A and B are shown apart, each in its own frame.
Chain A
């Protein structure tokens, strides 16, 4: 036993010897830190701060280019003039498709001649109406080509309001600046004004997740009485050895996503 103890001692001494230089380095660092530690933290904070400024403030300014609409438009004024609210100009066609931004044909009834003194109206009549050119409106809510969106399903089917997605557009007196994403070419309104992607209102963003959020909760076609909680679902999946994509528990009819099927909104 004795011999063993001695041997153990030897080893620990050896270890102490070996650790010696390291320990002294540590000591040195500690000494230096008292002077330079603050600088390093400062630099860290500087870097953090600078990148946060770049990411949150400068980046959006660089990402989006500001574009002006060809002419300004007063929604408030026009809504007052018409009988049928938004649908007076943004109407449904008989086949259920949605007309979107009005064409000259809809404006021409009133605007064949200049009506008032607004310089935008004068420009509209002179540049577009009399030359029979369509106004190249910049559409804030323009979605990529892969998106299928049926206004009829939402407005006529689900009885939703325009405001839910488009916000209080009809209460605007002039058109806001169109911020075009330099990379994708789509409007900033899709991602939302908040560069962080946060939203307060349903109409703040128009990304797929925002559609999906609603479609997860209100999947129209299936009535399910007893929906397991997500946690319960996960446990069930694991317990039953069901790989994702092979069983449906969610509200929707999609096998892959447990929401509405992909073709509900994609073409």
Chain B
């Protein structure tokens, strides 16, 4: 197979979430819903049906009183890259080309009008980051006034998920075009959850750009599909090989361990390998 690609260095947008700082307040969830026209229903207590592109999970260490510990874990779409470019679990199964991996941004898109609702991608997503619209979105009379024109409301029967607020990238690019700048600054494209987080627990940026804070925090190792070199950093279900772009930081061993499945006799989380 010959590949004659001498392309510019791609961007690879990713997120680092500091679980020591996260207070589990849920601002990211609501910021996301408000930004992305996410619908709501009268009863949202069935969490399998409740559409939350960003969802904060509550983890416990399973110890008895008073040794119990709790940690919150915000879960956006992991924008998996897979083991080779764009082989994310969902993109590779979509029969309708409704979800796509972008080499330019590293973002997994979801095209609602293209989706015919087979939910194969939901089955393949190991992070439950995808949601199906079982109902028409209905806003109470007058409330549709707050809907943002930058994100299209989804119809019944399609799958939706976090887009890393890609429309914000587009808007930032528009401004840059206007000002004749080819590149965006780090702070020009930030997701709604990053911006809203009262604790400043979320950092967003280009993982391929060593100057961006996310790269400095997570220290992704390109030789090992982005596995973090920072010993406090981990990714969810690392060993599945999904190569997600969301990194978590925690100083607590049990939290890092909760990020993957381990056999009972497996004693320690494998220390990230250091190179060079």
Out of B4, B10, B113, name the residue touching A226 (CB < 8 Å).
B4
- Asked if A152 and B109 sit within 8 Å, CB to CB, the answer is no
Q: How far is the CA of A60 from the CA of B115 in the complex (A)?
A: 28
- In the assembled complex, A144 has its CB within 8 A of some CB on chain B: yes
Give chain A nearest CB distance to B90 CB in angstroms: 11
Stretch of A15-23, A119-127, A248-256 that contacts chain B: A248-256
- Asked if B171 and A254 sit within 8 Å, CB to CB, the answer is no
- In the assembled complex, B254 has its CB within 8 A of some CB on chain A: no
Complex contacts, A256 vs chain B, CB 8 Å: 91, 94, 97, 99-101
The number of residues on chain A lying at the interface, defined by a beta carbon within 8 Å of a beta carbon of chain B, is 43
Out of A94, A226, A263, name the residue touching B102 (CB < 8 Å).
A263
Complex contacts, A221 vs chain B, CB 8 Å: 8, 104
Main secondary structure of the interface of A (DSSP, over half): loop
Q: How far is the CA of A262 from the CA of B114 in the complex (A)?
A: 10
Q: Which of A215-267 contact B (CB under 8 A)?
A: 221-228, 236, 239-240, 242-243, 245-249, 253-257, 261-264, 266-267
Complex contacts, B99 vs chain A, CB 8 Å: 256
With contacts A222-B7, A245-B91, A256-B91 known, is A148 near B167, CB below 8 A? yes
Give chain B nearest CB distance to A68 CB in angstroms: 27
Main secondary structure of the interface of B (DSSP, over half): loop
With contacts A253-B104, A255-B100 known, is A153 near B174, CB below 8 A? yes
Q: How far is the CA of A257 from the CA of B86 in the complex (A)?
A: 12
Out of A144, A150, A255, name the residue touching B173 (CB < 8 Å).
A150
- In the assembled complex, B68 has its CB within 8 A of some CB on chain A: no
Stretch of B16-24, B137-145, B175-183, B240-248 that contacts chain A: B175-183
Complex contacts, B100 vs chain A, CB 8 Å: 254-257, 261-263
Complex contacts, A224 vs chain B, CB 8 Å: 4-7
Q: How far is the CA of A248 from the CA of B4 in the complex (A)?
A: 11
- Asked if B112 and A225 sit within 8 Å, CB to CB, the answer is no
Give the residue name and chain of the A residue nearest to B102 (CB).
A261
Give chain A nearest CB distance to B85 CB in angstroms: 7
- Asked if A227 and B4 sit within 8 Å, CB to CB, the answer is yes
Give chain A nearest CB distance to B14 CB in angstroms: 16
- In the assembled complex, B40 has its CB within 8 A of some CB on chain A: no
A sample of 5 inter-chain contacts (CB < 8 A) reads: A152-B173, A153-B173, A255-B103, A256-B94, A261-B100
Other than the known A253-B103, A255-B103, A257-B100, what 10 A-B pairs have Cβ atoms closer than 8 Å? Answer: A96-B179, A97-B174, A150-B174, A227-B4, A239-B1, A253-B10, A255-B86, A255-B91, A256-B91, A267-B166
